């Protein structure tokens, strides 16, 4: 189990975000820098997880929101899921410029919530449609021209629920041709073969994790952010068909966790605060849990 996440003690602290920010997704960039996206304004905030200091990578994007994020170390590109507008964004973190705005779907039911990266593609999840979207990447991480997306339908084993919140969090498995997704409404985890869209439910021994959102993977340990003020720690077997919920992390500073990243021995959790009125003065923060 690597670090022994399931039983380790944690040291808790908070990382402030701008008031009124409405955070949703997070990605770890170069060094200790994390990028946090806003589901309210489409802004992206860059913060050093060590010093707790930050600044806007990109300010408000009129008519645009940002949910899941993924960072490519090869290019410094940041991929962002655009929610109900059905698009995916690609930003250059070195310059703060928008490189690509790619329409993934025009279906009114589309809700692009998550994004993850493999060596060959960016993969986006959709909470309102039973599919993933693929954007091809070259060996250097740059987008393959002509830049366009391909829709991959999820297999029959995927329990799609029309009108509800389906796939949200998505994460690639390092060294494997596999993606992991979480079904928010049903609390189910799936392993996906990206080339075909074939889906295998992950058996948690009868346990479900409803109201879950973001995913982060460290070796065979999967962290699952849950809106009910907890983070599930799931130990997966090598086949990615079974897992055990080892622990449910809680914190007095959790407030509707929506996404998370692992940075060494540190787990950083986004508190979306969806049950709180999003006023300009509403405080927001990340919860940092350091394992020892």
- Provide CB contacts within 8 A for 151, sequence distance 6+: 104, 105, 131, 132, 133, 134
Annotate 53-83 with b (16+ C-beta within 10 A) or e (fewer). ebeebbeebeebbbbbbbbbeebebbbbbbb
DSSP 98-145: EEEEEE----TT--EEEEEE-SSEEEEEESSSSEEEEEEB-TTSPBPS
DSSP 53-65: -EEEEE---TT--
Q: What are 188-232's pLDDT values in tens digits? A: 999 999 999 999 999 999 999 999 999 999 999 999 999 999 999
Q: What are 10-24's pLDDT values in tens digits? A: 889 999 999 999 999
Confidence of residue 159 (pLDDT cuts 50, 70, 90): very high
* pLDDT attached to residue 235: 97
* pLDDT attached to residue 231: 98
Indicate the average pLDDT of the chain.
95
Residue position matching structure tokens 């698009």: 87
Q: What are 68-117's pLDDT values in tens digits? A: 999 999 999 999 999 999 999 999 999 999 999 999 999 999 999 999 99
Q: How far apart are the first and last CA of the chain?
A: 14
Sheet holding 149-153, edge to edge: 112-117, 121-126, 131-136, 149-153
pTM of the model: 0.96
Nearest to 231 by CA among 269, 276, 265: 269
CA dist 252 to 10, 39, 185, 187, 257, Å? 13, 23, 25, 23, 12
Flag whether pLDDT at 65 surpasses 50: yes
Q: Which domains does the chain have, with CATH numbers?
A: 10-291 (2.130.10.10)
């Amino acid at each position: 189990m690597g670090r022994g996440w399931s039983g380790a003690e944690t040291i808790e602290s908070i990382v402030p975000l701008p008031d009124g920010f409405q955070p949703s997704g997070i990605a770890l960039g170069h060094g200790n820098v994390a990028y946090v996206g806003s589901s309210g304004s489409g802004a992206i905030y860059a913060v050093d997880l060590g010093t707790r200091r930050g600044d806007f990578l990109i300010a408000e994007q009129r008519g645009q929101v940002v949910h899941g994020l993924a960072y490519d170390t090869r290019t410094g590109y940041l991929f962002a899921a655009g929610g109900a507008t059905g698009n995916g964004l690609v930003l250059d973190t070195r310059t703060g410029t928008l490189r690509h705005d790619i329409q993934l779907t025009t279906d009114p039911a589309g809700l692009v919530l998550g994004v993850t990266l493999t060596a060959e593609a960016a993969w986006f999840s959709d909470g309102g449609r039973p599919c993933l979207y693929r954007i091809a990447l070259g060996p250097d991480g740059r987008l393959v021209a002509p830049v366009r997306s391909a829709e991959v339908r999820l297999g029959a084993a995927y329990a799609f629920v029309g009108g509800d919140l389906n796939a949200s969090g998505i994460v690639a498995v390092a060294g494997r041709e596999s993606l992991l997704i979480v079904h928010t409404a049903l609390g189910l985890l799936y392993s996906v073969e990206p080339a075909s869209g074939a889906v295998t439910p992950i058996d948690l021994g009868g346990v479900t994790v409803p109201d879950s959102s973001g995913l982060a993977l460290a070796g065979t340990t999967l962290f699952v952010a849950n809106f009910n003020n907890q983070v599930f720690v799931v130990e997966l077997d090598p086949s990615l068909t079974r897992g055990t919920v080892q622990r449910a992390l809680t914190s007095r500073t959790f407030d509707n966790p929506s996404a998370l990243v692992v940075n060494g021995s540190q787990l950083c959790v986004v508190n979306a605060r969806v049950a709180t009125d999003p006023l300009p003065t509403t405080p927001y923060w990340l919860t940092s849990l350091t394992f020892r």
